[in-house]
């Protein structure tokens, strides 16, 4: 008998991007949706979601070669992102994501959340973020606020950071490039919690 080995094929990454498009995130939301628009042409398994206090999938708005301005207009007009009062509620938005789409997450999935983590003093539901992190291969958070503002006022960044593989201050293209470069670095978990260098800096 002569064993024959099949050449392994790398699995295609599954990317889930969750974008906060609330009023406080208006300027950055346009920036991150441009990021989503650019990535949608590079990944065949990219799914995008917009949220305020509710969440809705907007993947289809960016498909089929749609112009960015048209896709952006559709997000603002058609996405069902308001659940109660239209003020940010990360806990409820993440809970809806988990209940509706959590079953789609696999060990090949990378989840990217973009938002300032300002939660209007509502329950952040860190347990839901932990469940998302357990189901996915990796979770990253992009926060447009200066790091010094994290966990001030109604910011609940530390409620999520421990379950993220890394958290980043992303306010410009240079910082976005640093995030993309970090995606190539290996991640490890110890005792069920993800270890990463960035969130520890502000705890």
Tens of each residue's pLDDT in the chain, 203 residues: 677 666 555 456 699 999 999 988 888 888 888 888 888 777 778 999 999 999 999 999 988 778 999 999 999 999 999 999 999 999 999 999 999 999 999 999 999 999 999 999 999 999 999 999 999 999 999 999 999 999 999 999 999 999 999 999 998 888 988 887 776 565 543 333 444 433 334 33
Give the model confidence (pLDDT) of 155-181 as tens digits. Answer: 999 999 999 999 999 988 889 888 877
- Domain residue ranges in the chain: 21-202
Whole-model pTM? 0.84
Q: d(Cα 67, Cα 151) in Å, to the nearest integer? A: 37
The answer to whether 51 and 20 have CB atoms below 8 angstroms apart is: yes
The residues near 112 (Cβ < 8 Å, ≥ 6 apart) are 15, 16, 17, 18, 139, 140, 141, 142
Q: How far apart are CA 49 and CA 81, in angstroms?
A: 9
pLDDT at residue number 31: 86
Q: Name the phi and psi angles at 185, rounded to 5.
A: -80, 145
Please give the CATH superfamily to which domain 21-202 belongs. Answer: von Willebrand factor, type A domain (3.40.50.410)
């Amino acid at each position: 008998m002569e064993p024959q080995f099949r050449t392994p094929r790398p699995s295609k990454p599954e990317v889930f991007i969750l974008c906060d498009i609330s009023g406080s995130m208006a300027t950055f939301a346009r920036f991150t949706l441009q990021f989503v628009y650019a990535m949608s042409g590079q990944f065949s398994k990219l799914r995008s979601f917009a949220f305020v206090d509710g969440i809705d999938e907007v993947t289809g708005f960016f498909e089929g070669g749609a112009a960015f301005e048209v896709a952006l207009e559709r997000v603002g007009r058609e996405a069902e992102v308001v659940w109660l009062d239209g003020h940010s509620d990360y806990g409820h938005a993440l809970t809806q994501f988990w209940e509706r789409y959590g079953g789609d997450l696999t060990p090949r999935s990378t989840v990217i959340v973009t938002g300032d983590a300002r939660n209007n003093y509502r329950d952040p539901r860190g347990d839901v973020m932990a469940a998302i992190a357990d189901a996915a291969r990796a979770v990253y958070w992009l926060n447009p606020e200066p790091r010094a503002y994290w966990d001030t006022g109604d910011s609940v960044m530390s409620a999520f950071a421990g379950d993220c593989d890394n958290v980043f201050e992303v306010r410009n293209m240079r910082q976005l490039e640093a995030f993309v470069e970090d995606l190539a670095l290996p991640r490890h978990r110890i005792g069920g919690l993800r270890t990463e260098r960035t969130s520890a800096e502000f705890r």
